[in-house]
Structure formats: structure tokens, C-alpha cells
Structure 1
Amino acid sequence: MKSTLIFFLIGYFSVSCCAQNSDKNDGKSFLPIVNFSSQQDRENMMNQLGIKTLRPGYSGDNKAPNRANSDQALANPFPNYPDPLIFNNGNQVMNPQQWDKRRAEIIEDFEREVYGRVPKNVPKVNWKVKVIDSEYIGFTPVIAKQLVGQLDNSNYPLLNVNIAMTLVLPANAKDPVPLLIMFGPSILPAPSQPNREDLELINHAVKDLLIKSNPELKAIFEKYPAYQPIASQNSRINPISARPIGDPPTAEQLIAAGWGYLLLDPTSIQADSGAELTKGIIGLTNKGQPRKPEDWGALRAWAWGASQAFDYLSTEPKVNIKKVGIEGVSRYGKAALVTMAFDQRFAIGLIASSGQGGTKPARRNFGEAVENLAGGAHYWMAGNYLKYAADQAKFGSKNANDIPVESNQLIALCAPRLTFISHGAPSMGDSNWLDHQGSYMATVSAGKVYKLLGAKDIGVSNDYKIEKMPSVNTGLLEGKLAWRQHDGGHTDAPNIKYFIQWANKFL
């Protein structure tokens, strides 16, 4: 750690010299990008916070000596979660008007201690269309549009950030459609291909070019007259007979139900790496320099990107902007929940298998822990989050029970909007690491805010200490807060049809 501190101080004084020289160059010199490894970045934050050592995280390997707890009897060392309807001063929230003040109080704690703050100097996004294509998903014609959101980097030209996303809408929809933003690669669903006549013209031109560059190829082409350098990419397979057993893909279900969807590439916003925090949108706003303790982490950056996508969708006349949702699985399930909690314009959330930092209570000693995120994924969170895994520090030590907020409150921030909490089965790969029981407990507790705001929750009491988690494939889908654990793995695909039916009922 001492070597890292020396490295950081050298970098700091070098940067200071550069800053002093910038005035001599008419403001055209910029501080160089600081390139830390993930470990160096974490140690730099520890130095800022006065942390000497962090407690190690737990292992998901049941045979490891530091294996994570999987015994429910030992899972609740801190059984009392912060109440979403109790102000920090101890007063009770009595009505929806008071909830607005309490909501702001919870937001402030999450921003400062857990996810970080979006800076005021975030550059403007300029959206440009790369491709517009007429395609089919199943038997439904769609319009697919690939877009790039270019961020203004005039204040720091050393970094370029271009947000990648693909918008897909039913071509024949008469009215604006509901839409689900999903974190994932920005890819076209089924790019249209040249017909037979056009492909023949392309191949003639390709052969001519190849022969000009290598005359010996003429004899080869004459020997194989039917050969085409570019083959048709149309498989001509019957789409019904080729369908695998089970539900259609998520995109096909959405389009068939009259929805649109948008694929938002989170790594085009901020890399999923602790070594990249001086790059991406976080690096651009910090001008290539390391974060401060309250600066945003990747989860908040990905959520910010989803809000930028929402801004763009408000310009699309075929999208019903009042019916836009956000979806994500695993780390992107965390990001989807953060998006839903902080941006009240989103009407629907599908939060899948999100674990620690998502729906799992930090105070639960079961599976993944605060120490795991602090040690292996600190870049998802604000720097201040490291304090709660501190073993030795200038402030002593802290643990999960010292965090002023909890996952039940994060879910409560979504109230009274439609929020579907999804999990799979541990036996199928949705690991115990995610703490399904804890996620259910947080959902139960959050329900009291839905009730306060006049919306039905999952339909049970809000005593998370006594309510029993439903069996697999038993959905609690009668309220605006919903829960369902399917019998698949680490995915939300088996819950998509239930999610669409549930959302359509309320929309």
C-alpha cells in the first residue's frame, strides 16, 4: 500500500506541475489520464478514507475455509433493517406528502454512502443514427435503429465516450407502444440481407475486383462457375420447426405483445472494471483523475446512461413515454434497480437476480457480502462504501449494520411504480450467493410504502421477519410490487411472459 501511495503522490505532483503550465498554453493542455490498476484504485480510495485494511470477502466455494454462510439460522446477525417510513430523526411518516421528504432523505444517504453522486458537470449527449433497418422478429415486421450517443468532450478531449444502443419497434403499431430498456450489447435483431438478384450483382463485382488484383483467380472461377464469394446469410429454415422447446426469446415475446425494446450497452457508458474508472463517463467528468469518496460508481453511471436513453425516447413518437421500463440481470439487475429508484420517470422495473448492492440486504450474513463488493467490485459503488468493510481505519472499523440505508429502502424508492422482483432456482444456477430469502424479506418490507401511497404490494404483511418466501413458480403478481422465483437459472427469461402479462394488466 505504501508503494501505491508513493506512486499516487508522484502522480499528484506531476499533475500539479502540468496544471501550473496549462495557463502558458492558452488552456489547451490537459492533465494526463491517471492509469491505475483496479487494486491501485482501491488502495488510493482507502488512503483517502484513512482505511488501513479491509476484511476479506467470502468464497462461493463450499469447500473453501472462508466459504460464505449458507445456514439460515446464522443469516441474521443484524435483524433490524432501517424502516423506510421512519425519518432519520425517529419520526414516523404519516402520509404521502411526508413520504416525499423521507424519500429525499433516503436518496441522500444512498448517494453519499452507497452509489455515489452524479456530478453537475456531466456533458451533454448528442444522439446520432447509425443504421435504420426494416427487419422481422418472428413473423412481426419491426423497425430497428442503431444509435450512438456522443458525449461532448470539449472540456477534456483526451477521452471519447460514445453510448451504444439499439431501438426496436413494431413496424405496424397504430399507437405509441410500451417499451423496455434492457442492458446488453447494442445489436440489430435480424439485419436485412440482399435478395438473390442484388447478391448476384455484388458477387459479379467482387469477382471482377479479385481477378484484377490476382489474374490467376480467373481460371479458378471458371473451374467453379457456381461458386459465389459471398454466400446468402438467409438460412431458409422454417422458423416454426426450428424453434427450441420452451418460450420464445425475450425480444420476440415483447414484440409479439405489442411492446418495443431498447438494448443499451452499459460498457459503452462505463467499463465494468476497476482499472477503467478514470475513463468512460466517470473519467470524462473527472478529467481522467481518480474518484473522490462521494463520486459515482459504475452502477450509478449505468443508471445515468439509462436516463439518457429515456431522454432520447421522449423524442420518438412511436414510444409511449409514460410506459417505459428498465430491465437487468445480475450486476445489471442492480443497475436497473438503481435506475428505477433514482429516476421516477421510469414506469416499470424488472429486477432480476441482483444480489448484493441490489435487492439483497447488506445486513444479511448469507452469500455475497459487503466485503465482497469492497474487495472485488468496489468500482460499482461510491468510494465511501469501502468504509463498511473496514477492519482497521482512522475511524475504527465499520460493518454492514453501520450503513444508514438498506435494500428494502432502495425497493421502496420505486413505489408506487410497477416493480417486479425476479429470481431463479439455486439448483439451476441462480446461486444461493444471491440470497433469495433476503431479497424476499426486503421486498416484504418495502411493501409498506406501496400501501402508504395507495398501491397494492405483493399481498402479505410487511413483517419481513416472519413472512415465508413462496415456493418456486409461485408468483405474487396481484399488486404493483411483484415477486416471482422461476425454476430456471441465472436469467429472467422464464419470467418474461409473466412480467408482460402483469405489466399489461396495470398499463
Structure 2
Amino acid sequence: MMLKLRFLSLFFVLSTGLGWAQKALPNPLILANGKRVQNAKQWHKERRPELLRMFTSEMYGQAPPRPKEMQFEVFDVDKNALNGKATRKQIAVYFNGKADGPRMDLLMYIPNHLQRPAPAILGLNFWGNHAVHPDPAIRITTSWMESGKGNPYVKLSCVTDHRATEACRGVNAAQWPLDTIIARGYALITAYREDIASDDPKTGFQKGIHPIYPDYQGRTDNFGTIAAWAWALSRAMDYVVTDKAIDAKRVAVFGWSRLGKAALWAGATDERFAMVISNESGAGGAKLFHRGVGENIRRLCTVFPHWYAASFKKYMDRDTLLPFDQHQVISLVAPRPVYIASAVDDKGADPQGEFAAAKAAESVYLFLGKTGLPAQTIPPLNQSVQGQIGYHIREGGHDVTLYDWKQYLNFADKHFN
């Protein structure tokens, strides 16, 4: 009986006004020993590290520290890019310090009209740096690329033998409104996901950074592709702090879909990111598993077995019984601002579950003296609500639109002054 009572003490009740009431969620403010967090110091020194250890061992996996041998090479600088509106930089990040080792190319556009270091938005892209803008000077990736078949964002004809061609330039520009971002006074920093880790389940961990860390493989807490992408975002931040053109204290980490999962974990694990923006990240990102709605753990671990640690597989078919959930990952961002966004037709991502997770993380923000999410129920379509936690649900499906970006830039304005 005492064990049962202690187990129940680890949970609290959440009602979202979405027809999903009286659902129990693990309380982020209750320590593993059953005691409640008493103050901000205890949150930062005890509970936050405790949650990080749990999610690392049970879900995302243990990633390596910053490589001592890592080197940066700035191989392109154009101070008159975008018709003089921006400075373009391209930086090769040699993860093991070797030119023939795994390499990530960073693409940066920095607004020229600012008289001070620029705040920045940093995120990974799906189809290569060359795809975010038709600028002919962007180096085309040589990394593996999906064929694009059935994907509305990439023209099938531009990918040959799983390699990008000149025809791929700018094919994904609609999701990266560079002119708008630059005009609003923000730098954009991006890198291609496949430079870092393979998203092909047939490849496993044979490409990218995983082969240089053989000791991490074969473990139940091996770091998967989501954690590898998050790790690379931190490696990009390692460069950013050295670049005087960027205000390293005002960098938001951004991601959409599976890359939104990575952005959220990067923001949780690396407090140098001043803001986190997770766009339609769904299961394993911002949505709650406990609702039992949308994409589930079984699908994540079978269709995408490379995404998470091997230890996560034991939770298949136990979504509603998890001893943890994604609102606790969001709470790891606190007290820094975080924005969660959904789309009404993106059923797999479970918009109600994304909102509910954001709302459930609010308790930590309030505990730390910040505002939370200023809405008790999911807001109407195309209406952004913004406190220290921001949220919107827009019309349409799984995508990143100009509407989304405008809300993120408004949120950044609000918190970056």
C-alpha cells in the first residue's frame, strides 16, 4: 500500500479543456525519492540533472562530449550576399579534426544593417544547405540524400543516385524565408542533417559521427540519430561563440518535424541556447505519449529504429504508462523561453498533445518565477499565445510556413528585446 501511495505521489492531474481530463502525468517537480523540489537551486542542482540522466538513459541515449580534436575552417565569406543585405559565411566543422573525417558544413547569413552582433536562429535542414536558398555560392553537400519521391518539398528530378545536383538549389526555400529573417534583424545558421548522422535505417550507424565513437555502440543507452543531431547543434554553437558577428547569448535553436525533436533535446541539454523553437515535432518531440493519440513508441522504434537509444524499445505499447513524458523535456528548457507549434491537419503529431505538454511544463516556469503559457485551452486557429512558453496551431498540415516564422520572430523580439 505504501509503495502504491508513493508511486501515485509522483503524478499530478492535468486538464486541458480538450476532452482529455483526469489524465495523470509525471510531475517534473517531484524528485525520484518522492520529495518535492523546494526551491530554484534544488531544481537546477538536483531535479534537472536527475531528469537529464533519466531521459538520456531511457530514451535519447548518451552522446559524447565535445571532441577535443574538432576544428573549424571558414572557407567562404561574402559581405555582399543577398544583394548587399547580408554577409554569407560557410564553415566546415571537422568533428575529429581530420579533413577526410566526418564534416558538417555550417551556412550563415548575417544581416548587414545591424550595428551590433546579431541574434541568430540555428537549425538543421532536411535537404542540404544549397536547398534553403538558390544562392549559387552555397556549397552543395556530397552527403547521402533521400530521393525525394513522394515528398512535396523536393523535386524528384534534382536528386540522382541519392546525391544532390545543381537543380536542387533553392528547392526548399519556401520553408526558410531568408529575406524575412534577415530583414527582421536575425542571422540564420543551418547545416544538413545527413552531414551528421544517417537518417537511413538501412545504414544504421555506419556514416557520419557514429563510426568515430565505436565505444558508444552496442550499449542500451547508445546515442541515436536524434541525439546525434542535437549533439551537432551544440557543436555548431561551439563555433558560434567564437564568431564576433553573432550575439551568442541570443541564439534560438529551431527545428521542424524530426529535426524539431532534435532541437528540443538540444535546448534541454545545452543551456547556451537562449530559446527553443519546436515546430510540429510530435512523438518523441513536444507531444505527450500519455494521451495514446497519434504516432506512438512502437512506430518510432520499428519504422525509425535508429532515432532513439535501444533502451527506449522496452516502452513499446506502454505509451500511457510511461514513468516520464515529453512535458518534462520541455521543462528542462526552463526558465528560457520555448515555443511549441502545431498544425490542425497534422494528426500524427497530435496538436492537442503538443499543447497539453507545453501547458504541463508551465508548472516549472511558474515555480522559477516566470510566466507560463497564457491559455487554459488550445487557442483558435492562427492565434499565437505567448508568455515564457509560446504556442499556436495554424491551419494546414505538416510544414513550416511564413505564418510560423512570423510568430517565431515575434517571440524572439519579445524575449531578445
**TM norm structure 2:** 0.80
Change beyond 3 A, Cα 1:329–1:401 = same
| AA at the equivalent of 1:180 | I
Give 3-state SS (helix, strand or coil) of 2:26's partner.
Answer: coil
Alignment check: 8 A CA contact 2:291 2:320 kept = no
CA deviation after TM superposition for structure 1 residue 456, in Å: 0.7
Alignment deviations for residues 208-246 of structure 1 (CA, whole Å, 9 cap, x no partner)? xxxxxxxxxxxxxxxxxxxxxxxxxxxxxxxxxxxx9xx
CA deviation after TM superposition for structure 1 residue 192, in Å: 6.8
Q: How does 1:334-349 map to 2 (within 5 A)?
A: 334-349=261-276
From 268, 272, 278, the equivalent of 2:206 is 278
Structure 2, unaligned runs of 5 or more: 1-17, 138-172
CA deviation after TM superposition for structure 1 residue 315, in Å: 0.9
* 1:474 match: 383
Give 3-state SS (helix, strand or coil) of 2:395's partner.
Answer: coil
From 296, 305, 311, the equivalent of 1:378 is 305
1:257 aligns with 2:201: no
Give 3-state SS (helix, strand or coil) of 2:209's partner.
Answer: helix
1:97 aligns with 2:41: yes
Q: In the aligned structure 2, how far is the partner of 1:171 from the partner of 1:296? A: 39
Q: In the aligned structure 1, how far is the partner of 2:222 from the partner of 2:176? A: 38
Alignment check: 8 A CA contact 2:60 2:227 kept = yes
Structure number with bigger Rg: 1
Alignment deviations for residues 421-461 of structure 1 (CA, whole Å, 9 cap, x no partner)? 111220xxxx211111111111111001111111111124x
Alignment check: 8 A CA contact 1:135 1:190 kept = no
Alignment deviations for residues 258-299 of structure 1 (CA, whole Å, 9 cap, x no partner)? 110101112101011232313321221117x84311111111
| AA at the equivalent of 2:204 | E
| AA at the equivalent of 1:418 | P
* 2:240 match: 313
1:186 aligns with 2:95: no
Change beyond 3 A, Cα 1:368–1:186 = same
Work out the number of aligned pairs and report it.
359
Alignment deviations for residues 457-505 of structure 1 (CA, whole Å, 9 cap, x no partner)? 1124xxxxxx43222112111x111111122332232221122122112
How many percent identity over aligned positions? 27
From 283, 294, 310, the equivalent of 1:367 is 294
Change beyond 3 A, Cα 1:192–1:141 = farther
Coordinate RMSD, CA, aligned: 2.6
Give 3-state SS (helix, strand or coil) of 2:271's partner.
Answer: coil
CA deviation after TM superposition for structure 1 residue 94, in Å: 2.2
From 323, 328, 336, the equivalent of 1:404 is 323
Q: In the aligned structure 1, how far is the partner of 2:133 from the partner of 2:384? A: 30
* 2:95 match: 151
Q: In the aligned structure 1, how far is the partner of 2:208 from the partner of 2:136? A: 32
Alignment check: 8 A CA contact 1:360 1:438 kept = yes
Q: In the aligned structure 2, how far is the partner of 1:128 from the partner of 1:404? A: 44
Change beyond 3 A, Cα 1:140–1:476 = farther
Q: In the aligned structure 1, how far is the partner of 2:175 from the partner of 2:353? A: 31
Alignment check: 8 A CA contact 1:327 1:351 kept = yes
Change beyond 3 A, Cα 1:367–1:248 = closer
Q: In the aligned structure 1, how far is the partner of 2:66 from the partner of 2:87? A: 35
* 2:62 match: 117
Give 3-state SS (helix, strand or coil) of 1:351's partner.
Answer: strand
CA deviation after TM superposition for structure 1 residue 190, in Å: 5.2
